[in-house]
Structure 1
Amino acid sequence: MRKRQPKTYTRLTHPLVRDSRDEPFRRATWDEALDRAARGIERNRGAFGMFSCARATNEMNYVAQKFARVVMGTNNVDSCNRTCHAPSVAGLSAAFGSGGGTSSYEEIEHTDVIVMWGSNARFAHPIFFQHVLKGIRNGARMYAVDPRRTSTAEWAESWLGLNVGTDIPMAHAIGREIIHAGLANQAFIERATTGFEEYVRLVEPWTLSLAEKVTGVPAAAIRELAHAYARAERAQLCWTLGITEHHNGTDNVRALINLSLLTGHVGRYGSGLQPLRGQNNVQGGGDMGAIPNRLPGFQDILDPEIRLKFESAWDTVIQPHYGLNLTEMFEAMEDGTLKAVYCVGENPAQSEADSEQAVRRLKALDFLVVQDIFLTKTAEIADVVLPATAGWAETEGTTTNSERRVQRVRKAVTPPGEAREDIDIICDLAARLGHDWKYADAETVWNELRSVSPDHYGMTYERLEEHQGIQWPCPSTDGLEPTYLHGRLWEPDPGKRGPLAPFGIVQHDPPVDLTDEEYPIRLTTGRRLDSYNTGVQSGGYASPLRRGEYIELSPEDAERYGVVVGEQVQVTSRRGSVTAPVWVDTALRPGLAFMTMHFPDEVDTNALTIEANCPIAGTAEFKASAIRIDKLPIATIVG
């Protein structure tokens, strides 16, 4: 058997330029590379977009979004938050006015019920899962809602294996059961929410029997979860990409939030909503304003007073409208209204849905600058490549995790070759375009951020060191806020309660890419424990037990297709086709297949996925593609 070796990426150590798209890269000096980058960006002023990096520091993301808004005069800035958790931010913001998870990790150790919905946290969020295990050891009951019986589900009291794309019917049935059983927290509903009567009418059709038909989950299991969640004194509802990476991801999030409003499981210690972020600074990238609709501190760009504050601080004029998000920027590449992109630390050529289309659009740009630590597939398309430092170990700054905790990161090693700090690169490029920013170090950037973001004002570097990280909001240097958000909803005084939380009125909308006789298998995607994102950082160092990509099938489907573990098959969707070896997994039910995006250089999973985007958040439906599987004429076994 032939052992497949994943691609290993070589670290970038010096700038690269090419004299035309038809010619290979050649080594360049920093001055030449930055001059070329400045000229290419400048000639496309008015048709420019910026991709920032969820693995880099808060300080880098702050400077990146400032570059877009001040230097280029655009709000077209976004990051991979769009690919994964933009629906979480949109849903939480719509309900509570804030896009962060409402609880701390510690609280899940002291809760009574944990609902893990669309999340294989043991593989995708192993550090957080250690807190979950402590909670289980302390007596918490966990329920896993997921199409696959994942490694996480093995720890659950009950696994609710729903059909892909039926999360809203499941949530509505749980809500209806809670109401009919008299378990709704009426005092909280009256005090803290709006729209309850409309919500009651919304969920009324979703009986347990109808939900069983649509979701595939036994009515008794749905009823058990509903009663456990509603009767618990404290409960945590956690989710990740199984909820958000759908064409209606924001509606999915709103449906889960409704359950917390119905029961009062929000705004108190031990009860809350946890969207689990997949990279070290997905939360921080958005907090720093590296998104098209919010300025740093998650302040709305449409608010004239907010804009005036930033215009005064930055000596600029901020466009009074939302910019294009990542998805919209790719669409603008298609119609030619976006012609230049400055991409820092992202690899959209392999992380976007319908990746072949994404590559074609990137190649059609007039100018592409990529700033990264490896020569990614996106960098291979670029006109200029700038070697940067890693967002950890090689740089100073801060990051913000899923529980809104800002933590210091410190430089431990010297970056290789001529690689430079991201902030220094961006500032040198800004200087060439007429903006001379003087930042002595990352702390100087952070202090500027603190001056314009009330949620971060109290977080000096000294205090971050003292407390080993601080959760936002932290508006004062004198104390710390509670570890949970929205305690105001429990205030007896209406004047202190603030805006009420509306129930989300959302309807079931099945996956866009329907299965049929030609494409009978539902493909869902996710992560594995021993690999990372598009494999650039982990591809050459994956576990020796599981190297490379597979298509995972149920034992029943493997038998039906007459294939064995390691046998190569053709996997085809309505958008593309790949060849992949088979892996048989008892976690899967018949008709459901699973793949990751960890090894796109060998098996480009995203050539199969569909660019059906959430209209509110712009996130694609990575979790629900229709595929077919064909045996190859001559069986090839990969070990």
Structure 2
Amino acid sequence: MPESAAAEGNEQAETPFRPHTSHWGVFSARMVDGQLEVKPHAGDPDPNEIIQNFPAALRHRARIVQPMVRKSWLENGPGPDERRGRDEFVPVSWETALDLLGHELARVRDGSGPGAIFGGSYGWSSAGRFHHAQSQIHRFLNVACGGYVRSVTSYSSGSSQVLIPHIIGDHEGLTKRNVSWEQIAEHSEIVLAFGGMALKNSMVAGGSVSKHVERGAMQRAAERGCNFVLVSPLRSDLPDEANAEWLSCVPGSDTALMMGIVHTLVVEGRHDRAFLERYTSGWPIFERYLLGETDGQPKDAEWAAALTGVSAEEIVVLARRLAGKRALIVVSHSLQRAEHGEQPVWMGMVLAAALGQIGLPGGGYGYALGAIAYYGRRYNAVPIPTLSQGRNGVSDFIPVARIADMQLHPGETYRFNGESRTYPEIKLVYWAGGNPFHHHQDLNRLRKAFTRLDTLVVHELAWTATARHADVVLPCTMTLEREDIGANSNDPLLVPMHPIAPPYGEARDDYAIFADLAERLGARETFTEGRSVRQWLEHLYEQTRAGLAEKGLAAPNFNEFWKGEGYVLPQQPDDGGYLRAFRNDPAANPLPTPSGKLQIYSETIASFEEADCPGHPTWLGPVYVPDKSTPFVLISNQPRTRLHSQLDFGGHSVASKLKGREVATMHHDDAAERGISEGDIIRLSNERGACLAGVTLSDGIRHGVIQLATGAWYDPADPNEEKPLCVHGNPNVLTRDIGTSALAQGCTGQLTTVQVERFDDNLPEIRAFDPPA
């Protein structure tokens, strides 16, 4: 062996891989000659390639080098400003940045009260349980400012999180401890998946995931003889291993299809009357609506066919196939991320109830199964490390998808979950963890909303669009640059997260930033409790160690855990959760609903008198009706090469782009009619805005539909324009910023209508990953 090769081999042998984890999978990493190398966890049967975003992202030019302050804010002080998002930044020292920010926080806290501070965070920032940005910022604002206005629900499941407690009970128990992948592999005979169970979604989980089991479970079920039926405009919403039948439906028509199935079951006497009588409340009221006795329109297969594009014959045959089988009804998160999103979630439960399968192993209602990796798995039997956020002295909140409304309409009233609420007047938004310019809809409206603030503060590791709109930008570390503990309540592997590389530039941990800020506000000791990062990790680990000891199990001390590759925690049995217990004995185990049963009709919801969410599942036609000016339905779903918009500049994400732009999918015939070919650049537009995208052609997408994943960083060609063209392919310049209904006010970003045309002009330069001036 040549001497140089031997030396290189020795160097690599001396640089061991060390364990780490992410929301998309456990992995290990090392630095060799200044380059990051990563490899997936050896025990993962289906590792996620998103870990390959890390090497190029670690030292990318998009990283923020030092604290920055927006020029006009620095010169003129806080206040509403149209120049947010288009101004220059001035580099400052940490001392200057923290002094300025400490003074501004004190000004708002003492002058307007903590109710004028909005604590923005979305929880996806770090897999580590200590450096979890949402916990850190909330703890800081509670301790140092007396609290903050918070957000409730999520962009992913804002509609179902409000609805399900009214009609079934526990949202978390329904999604996390109900029908498992183990049960599907062993028991399910037919799985009817509305919106599918795409592996790109279940590849990620908040905190950590050591084994991606979904593909294998569907393959084993299919090999055993289980039939998978996919209802979706996209054939890719179930993996090839499921060997699924594909029913291509009109986007947003799933509720009508479910009603057509249930109508067929009822008129043919195939529904489970005994189950409906014993376990549900309100069936007779809904049945009258279903049969057309209340409005003159039977919701039969012919009616459903006209709305869904699925033939009446197919609907009738499907209903007959479901009856008497161990049938599982799955409704994806995507269905409720649209106008009237409550209806398919509610109707999916009714369909499962009519089949009498709820509570049986591998049967019933698997709401959101496959939407994320910790759904359909066992709970850990001991607690995972969790940082206390303290007590929030402010009771006010908003639904998370109403962030722009809050800033644009302070003092105005809105409806939410049966209440009339008032938007608070927010002076300062502090954002650490999350990127609203990814999650939110109608980005041009969001840009306007952020001009109304006195101050916007952002902790960020890279120059996202949110950071570019901030007044004070504080660079924070990536997980690979700090130590932490990775864990998930539904994954057994507790992971010691070792630092792999030093911090980039002057980046600091969120904890260090908040500790120094807390000192300026007289609350350092309360915030830190006198602990260093390592001492906090030891303290948080003790929660888990004590839980193990209480069960008489091996409980290694922190040093033993830290030196290892991870510790496997015990898990609870796969017992079907509260729905299994309810089925087995409804008197002893009633549901946490007004009747103690499944609420097919909800008197509570009916009493709210919301026209867009009546007291039982109802067909409410879509708002986004294609027309001559916007003839395509746009599906804006989750990406497969990154988590939301995280590390969009990473190698795996960038490699998926076309000429540097996000790629949209069209049907071959739709493209041919418009002179569009594979690999062209297209322009998508509507009254809210426009963006460019590359295009790929497929027969696995419904005619009249175009799909463009979210997560491409917003990149306006000219930020001084009111509705600039996004040259990178962010579909949220096109989506509507309205609530699902007055009940839930959830996100409606999944569907909208657009025009599509080939873009023949000179291609604008992409600057999304370049630092601002």
Does the 8 Å contact 1:160/1:222 carry over to 2?
Answer: no
User: Take 2:193 and 2:233, find their aligned partners in 1: how far apart are those partners?
Assistant: 12
Instruction: Give the equivalent residue in structure 2 for 1:161.
Output: 248
Deviations, residues 432-474 of structure 1 (Å, cap 9, x unaligned): 44441326414645878999xx9xx999995999983567xxx
Alignment of 1:333-352 (within 5 A): 333-335=407-409, 337-352=425-440
Whether 1:78 and 2:144 are equivalent positions in the alignment is no
Instruction: Give the equivalent residue in structure 2 for 1:604.
Output: 730
User: Take 1:187 and 1:513, find their aligned partners in 2: how far apart are those partners?
Assistant: 39
- The 1:277–1:588 alpha-carbon spacing in structure 2 relative to 1, beyond 3 Å, is closer
Deviations, residues 571-607 of structure 1 (Å, cap 9, x unaligned): 2112112233332221223211111223243123211
The AA in structure 2 aligned to 1:324 is I
Instruction: Give the equivalent residue in structure 1 for 2:313.
Output: 220
Deviation of the 1:135 alpha carbon? 2.3
Deviations, residues 243-302 of structure 1 (Å, cap 9, x unaligned): 12102222221221222333343334323414157677899xxxxxxxxxxxx9xxxxxx
User: Take 2:481 and 2:369, find their aligned partners in 1: how far apart are those partners?
Assistant: 23
Instruction: Give the equivalent residue in structure 2 for 1:49.
Output: 118
Instruction: Give the equivalent residue in structure 2 for 1:468.
Output: 568
> 5+ residue gaps in structure 2?
1-55, 74-82, 109-113, 204-211, 292-297, 377-383, 411-424, 602-615, 716-727, 766-773
Alignment of 1:389-468 (within 5 A): 389-390=477-478, 394-400=482-488, 404-405=490-491, 408-414=494-500, 416-417=503-504, 418-435=506-523, 436-437=526-527, 438=529, 440-442=535-537, 444=539, 468=568
1:542 to 624, 646, 653: 653
Helix, strand or coil at the partner of 1:10:
coil
The AA in structure 1 aligned to 2:281 is T
1:198 to 261, 285, 295: 285
Instruction: Give the equivalent residue in structure 2 for 1:135.
Output: 221
Instruction: Give the equivalent residue in structure 2 for 1:328.
Output: 402
The AA in structure 2 aligned to 1:207 is D
- The 1:481–1:387 alpha-carbon spacing in structure 2 relative to 1, beyond 3 Å, is farther
Alignment of 1:26-425 (within 5 A): 26-44=90-108, 45-55=114-124, 56-57=126-127, 59=130, 60=132, 61-68=134-141, 71-74=144-147, 76-78=149-151, 82-100=154-172, 101=175, 102-110=178-186, 111-119=188-196, 121-126=198-203, 127=212, 128-150=214-236, 152=238, 155-204=242-291, 205-233=298-326, 235-271=327-363, 272-276=365-369, 318-319=393-394, 321=395, 323-335=397-409, 337-390=425-478, 394-400=482-488, 404-405=490-491, 408-414=494-500, 416-417=503-504, 418-425=506-513
User: Take 1:16 and 1:39, find their aligned partners in 2: how far apart are those partners?
Assistant: 16
User: Take 1:241 and 1:390, find their aligned partners in 2: how far apart are those partners?
Assistant: 29
The AA in structure 2 aligned to 1:148 is L
- The 1:247–1:409 alpha-carbon spacing in structure 2 relative to 1, beyond 3 Å, is farther
The AA in structure 2 aligned to 1:103 is V
User: Take 2:630 and 2:184, find their aligned partners in 1: how far apart are those partners?
Assistant: 41
- Identity across matched positions, percent: 21
> 5+ residue gaps in structure 1?
1-5, 284-295, 297-312, 472-478
Deviation of the 1:331 alpha carbon? 0.9
User: Take 2:141 and 2:324, find their aligned partners in 1: how far apart are those partners?
Assistant: 49
1:16 to 68, 81, 106: 68
- The 1:46–1:275 alpha-carbon spacing in structure 2 relative to 1, beyond 3 Å, is same
The AA in structure 2 aligned to 1:489 is F
Instruction: Give the equivalent residue in structure 2 for 1:286.
Output: none
Instruction: Give the equivalent residue in structure 1 for 2:739.
Output: 613
User: Take 1:556 and 1:459, find their aligned partners in 2: how far apart are those partners?
Assistant: 64
TM-score after normalising by structure 1: 0.81
Deviations, residues 350-397 of structure 1 (Å, cap 9, x unaligned): 331111211222233211121222221101111222333445784424
Instruction: Give the equivalent residue in structure 2 for 1:502.
Output: 599
Helix, strand or coil at the partner of 1:612:
coil
Helix, strand or coil at the partner of 1:584:
strand
Greater C-alpha radius of gyration: 2
The AA in structure 2 aligned to 1:107 is Q
Deviation of the 1:506 alpha carbon? 2.1
User: Take 1:123 and 1:256, find their aligned partners in 2: how far apart are those partners?
Assistant: 23
Does the 8 Å contact 1:393/1:410 carry over to 2?
Answer: no
Alignment of 1:561-576 (within 5 A): 561-576=674-689
User: Take 2:541 and 2:351, find their aligned partners in 1: how far apart are those partners?
Assistant: 37
User: Take 1:345 and 1:449, find their aligned partners in 2: how far apart are those partners?
Assistant: 25
Q: Mean Cα displacement is larger for which, 49-58 or 248-257?
A: 49-58
User: Take 1:203 and 1:354, find their aligned partners in 2: how far apart are those partners?
Assistant: 36
User: Take 2:351 and 2:516, find their aligned partners in 1: how far apart are those partners?
Assistant: 49
Whether 1:581 and 2:694 are equivalent positions in the alignment is yes
Instruction: Give the equivalent residue in structure 2 for 1:488.
Output: 581
Deviation of the 1:136 alpha carbon? 1.8
Deviation of the 1:620 alpha carbon? 2.8
User: Take 1:459 and 1:164, find their aligned partners in 2: how far apart are those partners?
Assistant: 53
User: Take 2:154 and 2:120, find their aligned partners in 1: how far apart are those partners?
Assistant: 10
- The 1:137–1:506 alpha-carbon spacing in structure 2 relative to 1, beyond 3 Å, is same
User: Take 1:539 and 1:598, find their aligned partners in 2: how far apart are those partners?
Assistant: 12
Q: Mean Cα displacement is larger for which, 537-546 or 606-615?
A: 537-546
Deviation of the 1:480 alpha carbon? 5.9
Instruction: Give the equivalent residue in structure 2 for 1:475.
Output: none
Helix, strand or coil at the partner of 2:229:
strand
Does the 8 Å contact 1:250/1:614 carry over to 2?
Answer: yes
User: Take 1:30 and 1:562, find their aligned partners in 2: how far apart are those partners?
Assistant: 54
Instruction: Give the equivalent residue in structure 2 for 1:293.
Output: none
The AA in structure 2 aligned to 1:11 is R
User: Take 1:168 and 1:459, find their aligned partners in 2: how far apart are those partners?
Assistant: 49
- The 1:49–1:637 alpha-carbon spacing in structure 2 relative to 1, beyond 3 Å, is closer
Whether 1:630 and 2:757 are equivalent positions in the alignment is yes
TM-score after normalising by structure 2: 0.68
User: Take 1:387 and 1:10, find their aligned partners in 2: how far apart are those partners?
Assistant: 11
User: Take 2:96 and 2:492, find their aligned partners in 1: how far apart are those partners?
Assistant: 37
Q: Mean Cα displacement is larger for which, 256-265 or 206-215?
A: 256-265
Deviation of the 1:158 alpha carbon? 2.0
User: Take 2:687 and 2:278, find their aligned partners in 1: how far apart are those partners?
Assistant: 49
Instruction: Give the equivalent residue in structure 2 for 1:291.
Output: none
Deviation of the 1:405 alpha carbon? 4.7
Whether 1:523 and 2:634 are equivalent positions in the alignment is yes
User: Take 2:586 and 2:749, find their aligned partners in 1: how far apart are those partners?
Assistant: 44
User: Take 1:195 and 1:220, find their aligned partners in 2: how far apart are those partners?
Assistant: 29
